Chain A
Amino acid sequence: MASAGSQVAELASKLYDACVNEFDPDHLFYQNDFLNLKIIPKNDVALLLQCAQSLVDQNLFRLLQKDGKLTWRLIDREDAEKLRNLTPDEAMVYNVIHSTGRTGIWVRHIGSRTNLHKSILDRCLKSLEGKNYIKSLHNVKYPSRKMYMLAGLAPSEEVTGGAWFTDGVLDANFINTVAGFIEFTVSKMSWYEVPASESGRNKRIKTASGKADVKSDEKTYLPYPHGYKGYPNVEMITSAVNSSGITPVRLGEESVVQLMEMLCYDNKLVSLGAGEFYRSLQSPSVIQANQKRKPPTEGDDLAVVNKHLVKNGMTEAPCGQCPVFRLCSPGGAVSPETCEYFDPWLSNGLGF
């Protein structure tokens, strides 16, 4: 029996080495894969089962189930070493956490999957964290959940929320900086800058058609004709952003697309041909002026708003901003006769 046991151990270690050499570490092994290695004499399935079981016991194989069939996966010798030092409970918890990979797992899900009592689970997590095998992480989608993942892994985009989150919080400053940069870059590429010798002529045209005077030191920008192919696409913008040095990390194209879509919703950019190209609506000089103006007027939003979209009847009339407009009726407590907004509005409009 002992010899049989040692034979199994020997075969098992042979099998393990063969698997490590023949297959990549993420390979999912089926029974046939082992038999094809020709290590088990006479393809004895019972013996194979014993070997596999002994490897699983040594934490060198992980037993999985796929489509109702048993499958195995390799574990590094180092990891196996780690696992061997753990108590069975800890090992179970570790395996569960391991199985979720880069997304991490919520403590309550660990509990339901391992069926461990909460206090035992806590103890296991604590000891695993102490050994630096696992780490807790912050999920953007569920900020209140306590989640764990293996210490050696970086959390996935889904968990961190992508490039725009720092420690699970949206980084507004960063976004604004990059957005401003992108807007300006796109704008520079979607307006034709009239060379200095030309601008004199254009100035004349503009004044002749009754438009405001163009100051001589300002550059003149012209829109490109319909069907122009030189508008920037996402790759160009991504490389421009990454080479500009305003971001500490390299931004992926998806992050930049996300931001450009946001700019489209702000009506700053327009995407042409289903997101193939982007075009800016305002010329670089206007954008520059806007960006310069922002900080001082941030406080009183009314002034900014009025400049932005043109006003309409409702935003001008006192009724448009009246907080008690719904209650207003002639002869009521709030009525056009007793309205306190009309007089200031009238005197404001007339300038006396």
Chain B
Amino acid sequence: MTTQCSSELCMLLIEDNFGELFARIFTVLQRYERLTLPRLKFYSRLTDRQLNNGISAMIQHHLVYHFTSVEENNTYYEANPQAAYYLVRSGKILQHVDNRLGEYAAKVMEAIMFLGHTSITHLETLPQLQPNQPLTNGVNYDEERPETNGETNGDHEEEASETNGDHAVSQKPARLHPTLKSLASHGYIHRVREGHFQSPNDNWLDCNRIVSSRPDVKAMKGKQQQAEIEEKSKNMVKERTEGDLSRGLMFNGLPQGVKRMFGGASGSTNAQKGTNDVNGDHAEDEEDEGNDWSEDEDGIDSAPMDSNLIVRVNYEKLDVALRNTQILELARQCAPPVSLEIYDCLLRRIEYQTPRCRDTYEIPREGEEGEQYSAPIQLSAIVNDVDPNLDLTGCIGPMNPTPTSNRRKRPLDDGTNGVNGDDHEDESTEVNRAYQIDQHLSYLSQAPFNLTTKHNIGGLDTWRIAFRGIARKLRHLELERMIESRYGDVALRVIRVLHAKGRLDEKRLQEISLLPFKDLRQTLASMQTGGFVDLQEVPRDAQRQPSKTIYLWYYDPDRVCSSILEDTYKAMSRCLQRIKFEREREKDFLEKTERTDVKGHEEEFLSEAELEHLRNWKAKEALLLAEVSRLDDMVAVFRDY
């Protein structure tokens, strides 16, 4: 993870979100890796006060791991690049929560994100989460960022307890707890454990040490002991870092607060489609308080959450949710809209049962990856989930089209999909509907994407998803998009041939791709310069004469992926740096707009031209941020799925 480009990006993200002090500490930690406090002080040249404040706040935000070694009694600090990178995804996550659980849930999420981790008690006291709060800019972190982070992080505990006394008991926010519960049952937030503050490696080594010092393990020998230590420490790490809150909150396999999706099923998917690219201005589109949170939801489960619980955002789970939206995008390319709706239901069901995108830390090499299937979902569950008003017919053609069908009045009636909307009252419609949904899912299971897989467990039809295969397809799609835009569709064909056939010499390549020699050579040469294909020399004798050497072209997607990933990090950094530069250019003007008296009252204080200028600037910033978020989509595909 820590390469030059990624560490540059992390530094920029931290600087953008938290200011220079954090960025400085983070950079030093990334450059020198694990450091004790005195060394850190030496390298960063900061004062004790700065360092103490900075480090503690960064720990609050999980940007820094710390580990106190028992033997040496030293505490080591280590950067957490993952957490730093996830800062860029915050907008997307909030958008997703907004779509799923409504605006208020997004607000709660934003508050948690803004605080790094927080106790429920503290959330109760936050003014922006109060039920009858007049609209303010609340947690628009773009604005609050510079001034609040120091204090909020440093002394929020006191603040919390102090406000707690007079406020929280008398006027408990009515919606906060159900919202938190539904966030928890979706798995979007989880409990913070001690182990989360240590790096995964430290956790692992620590557990290893503890396990191997147990007397029963010590008694074992050789391989058996090794295996035992491995097994036990794995369990122990899992136990230590397990923060799942969804257990006990799920109802019939569905998390709380999920009912909402029926009402606006088609509306929400439409919204999802358009919103993927706007990251910067999520705070601006605050409408009114009215999300469609049904009031009876509170009645079902009004028991509040344990107020001592400390929660944080569960990025792993959110990656699963975001991956599902990407898969749905992929499906959009090949499936009719009705199938998409059904697929969406399947994906949601799967999301609830998938804690993380994959079990291994690294993406396995292509060809060496086994298949990883999602939890199987029963067809009946999907049938229940699908909007009952959705018309399933008329999207898939009949199985046996007869040549005479043109003259018949309703040829679809005798086809497989032929139930029309008007015979709904039938007993058989339930069965028929299940059959049709099955048909739609079967349709999705076809080549080229193989989006679903049918699986029969004990006579019950279930559907599941082959995650590794789809993740691979997503990766290839991103690569192909880049190749096509850079080298044209000829190159695309060549790449696909090489990928399917392995290593090929030029002649064989030409025979398969049916391209003229000249085009082929030009494309291959330019792609080689770009690092997409490479040439292998196989000498036929010891002299390695060029005339007696076989040259084989090949395409290694793993290698290309990793280099593109680096490029993507770099491009993201460049966009962020450009924002900085643009801001520098407009410095005087922007300082004026950010003055405390002007802010929020722009119309009063600024001239027409200045307002126009401000709008332009905002649009510019939004465009660049949107681009960063688009690039983040690619990073997710290459790294996280």
Contact = CB atoms under 8 A, between A and B. Distances in A.
Contact of B337 (A201, A209, A310, A350): A209
Contacts of B395: 205, 222-223
Q: Is the interface of B mostly helix, strand, loop or mixed?
A: helix
B388 to A, nearest CB: 15
Contacts of A205: 391, 394-395
Contact of B571 (A162, A311, A317): A317
Contact of A309 (B334, B400, B481, B573): B481
B605 interface: no
B480 interface: yes
Contact of B570 (A198, A206, A311, A328): A328
A312 B397 contact: no
Given A226-B445, A228-B399, A195 B405 contact: yes
Contact of B482 (A169, A206, A312, A325): A312
Contacts of A321: 485-486
Contacts of B493: 262, 265-266
A336 B574 contact: yes
A196 B578 CA distance: 55
A206 B475 CA distance: 31
Contacts of A206: 337
Given A265-B493, A266-B492, A325-B570, A222 B397 contact: yes
Interface stretch (B242-250, B460-468, B512-520, B551-559): B512-520
Main secondary structure of the interface of A (DSSP, over half): mixed
Contacts of B377: none
A211 interface: yes
B517 A170 contact: yes
Contacts of B266: 209-210
Interface of B: 266, 270, 333-334, 336-338, 341, 391, 394-401, 405-406, 408-412, 416-417, 439, 442-443, 445-448, 477-478, 480-482, 484-486, 488-489, 492-493, 496-497, 500, 507, 510-517, 564, 567-568, 570-571, 573-575, 577-578, 581, 616, 619-620, 623-624, 627, 630-634
Given A164-B514, A262-B513, A339 B578 contact: yes
Interface residues of A, number: 70
B406 A313 contact: no
Contacts, number: 195
Interface string A120-141: 0000000000000000000001
9 contacts: A223-B336, A223-B396, A225-B442, A228-B399, A271-B447, A314-B564, A319-B575, A320-B485, A342-B578
Contacts of A222: 336, 394-397
Interface of A: 141, 161-162, 164, 169-170, 172, 175, 191-192, 194-198, 201-202, 205-206, 208-211, 222-228, 230, 258-259, 261-262, 265-267, 270-272, 279, 281, 301, 305-306, 308-317, 319-321, 325, 328, 330, 336-337, 339, 342, 346, 349-350, 352
A211 B478 CA distance: 25
Contacts of B564: 314
A305 B484 contact: yes
A225 B578 contact: no
A279 B578 CA distance: 47
A305 B397 contact: no
